[in-house]
Amino acid sequence: MSDKELNGVNVAKFGGTSVANFAAMSNCAKIIKNNPATRVVVVSASAGVTNLLVDIANTAMSKEQIKQKLAEIEAIQHSILTDLGSPADVSDKLYQLLSSLSDLALHEEIIHRADLKDALLSHGERMSSLLFSQVLKQIDVNAENFDVRNVLKTDSQFGKATPNLAAIKAAAANLMLPSLENTVFVTQGFIGSDEQGETTTLGRGGSDFTAALLAEALEAQTCEIWTDVIGVYTTDPRITAAARPLPELSFEEAAEMATFGAKVLHPATMEPALRQNIKVFVGSSREPEKGGTWIVKDCETQPAYRAITRRKEQVMVTVKTPKMMYAQGFLQRVFTIIAKHKLSVDLVTTSEISVAFTLDNPANSVTEQLNKATLDELSEFCDVKVEDNYDLVTVVGNNMHSEAGVSNRIFNAVAEHNLRMICYGANPHNLSLLVKDSASAEVVCALHKALFE
Ligand code: ADP
Ligand code: ASP
Ligand code: MG
């Protein structure tokens, strides 16, 4: 295919609710058929499946409990199979996948080995893509169920692998490009493979990232993220009914929103889009006629306030040492220890003798790690305080640091609330407030009212 022809390619990604059952898959199939530019389809696991797989991978369970979870997964997939016009075409492959899934789930080492966990998790996307390719074939789309692991090359960091962009580009050119004109590749989000060919995963919600990576590798013009909302909203519509969809967003705004908790996009999604200037669309597969949000390089507007996000499960660490008064190297010493323990710091504030920072703490994973090793080392030269049950509320916008009255408006709106930490000024696109998790929804609503209603 020539570069010119490739300019029209669209990569479409369908999230878990969009491929939850046969009816949802049929809506997606129509969307694909209506846009001949769609040559690559990336799917998530059917809604609920990855959560069940994560339970099996991370929780010590009896064989009976594991079998119960497997039965739930099988029921989800089986109901789609039985709704197919010609289930026989894929039933053997589906049962093979269910069987290898069951072997892994019942493996004695499953909760201890990250490589086995990723192999287990990959089954969700592998089953949904198999079934969805058949749904497309039934409406005469020339669909091929394609194993993304042959293209989506990563390092060996199981659970949160880093993609190898050059290898992805080369493999996509070899294996996908030659038949892109005549085939709709139906492939898996979220999973990849390392140099040894072992299955890896990109982290929860990673299918958006897969779609953007494939769009970049294939030099696609657009990447569509089809989900359960009609675009990116001013804030999570589950927090307030006053949230409204945004017609357009810039790459930077979308990246900020995703980083600071807007689950609608995986945080890394915008990186490939930015590098390759690929327009990203977000819309609802249930209501495609309602349109959605276009995420582009240059937006028509650059409002000071674009959206409010919330990132849950934050922990705040305060490190204090009176001994370091007027001394140099305190921050370096603290952050060397943090880096050594592979903890990723988000927000930081400092004073002469102390530094406070926040870390993501999903399912208390970080608090555990902090307690075990890092705290001991930090405690050798300073007092350490760890506080959890915080959420981070972020106002995302443009030129916030140079706009008069921004902080006034924001702080007036949340005057009743206790703000544990404030970060403002390092980046023109955001202002972040750390608040108790019990208050975060109220803080989001108050800010939304003051800034958007
Ligand atoms: P999918 O399974 O399709 O990937 P996700 O559940 O990952 O879907 O993302 C969609 C959800 O993201 C929405 O249902 C919504 O609750 C949540 N969300 C959070 N912030 C926003 C936002 N600013 N705009 C739209 N949706 C948001
Ligand atoms: N199925 C994976 C998850 O639930 C990836 C995704 O849906 O994006 O996290
Ligand atoms: Mg998602």
Mind listing the pLDDT tens digit for each residue in 133-173? 999 999 999 999 999 999 999 999 999 999 999 999 999 99
Question: Is beta strand 143-146 parallel, antiparallel or unpaired with respect to 10-14?
Answer: unpaired
Amino acid identity for residue 390 in this structure: Y
Q: Which of 140-149, 288-297, 309-318, 348-357 has the lowest mean pLDDT?
A: 348-357
User: Would you call 10 helix, strand, or coil by DSSP?
Assistant: strand
Residue for token pair 């005057």: 415
What is d(CA 109, CA 308) in angstroms, rounded to the nearest whole number? 42
Ligand 1, pocket-test mutation among 13, 27, 236, most atoms within 8 A of CB: 236
Ligand 1, pocket-test mutation among 263, 281, 284, 295, most atoms within 8 A of CB: 263
Amino acid identity for residue 297 in this structure: K
Which residue puts its alpha carbon closest to atom 5 of ligand 2?
Answer: 205
Which residue puts its alpha carbon closest to atom 5 of ligand 1?
Answer: 264
Question: Is beta strand 222-227 parallel, antiparallel or unpaired with respect to 279-284?
Answer: parallel
Residues with CB under 6 Å of ligand 1 are 15-18, 44, 205, 227-229, 232-233, 235-238, 262-264, 307
Query: 317: which 2 tokens?
Result: 């660490």
Ligand 2, pocket-test mutation among 117, 199, 204, most atoms within 8 A of CB: 204
Cβ atoms of 330 and 324 closer than 8 Å: yes
Using alpha carbons, select from 443, 236, 421 the residue that is nearest to residue 346. 421
Which ligand gives the minimal distance to the CA of 202?
Answer: 2
Report how far ligand 3's centroid is from the alpha carbon of 210 (Å): 11
What is d(CA 265, CA 283) in angstroms, rounded to the nearest whole number? 11
DSSP states along 338-391:
HHHTT--EEEEEE-SSEEEEEEE-GGGHHHHHIIIIIHHHHHTTSEEEEEEEEE
The pLDDT of residue 323 is above 80: no
Closest atom, ligand 2, to C-alpha of 190: 5
Work out the pLDDT band at 2, boundaries 50, 70, 90: very low
What is d(CA 159, CA 148) in angstroms, rounded to the nearest whole number? 17
The pLDDT of residue 1 is above 50: no
The model's pLDDT over 244-281, given as tens digits with 9 standing for 90+, comes to 999 999 999 999 999 999 999 999 999 999 999 999 99
Closest atom, ligand 1, to C-alpha of 266: 7
Phi, psi dihedrals of residue 201, rounded to the nearest 5°: -130, 160
User: Distance between terminal CA atoms of the chain?
Assistant: 49
Length of the chain: 453
Task: Give Dmax (Cα) for the chain.
Answer: 76
Count CB neighbours of 255 within 10 A: 22
Give ion ligand 3 contacts, CB < 5 A: 15, 205
The pLDDT of residue 106 is above 70: yes
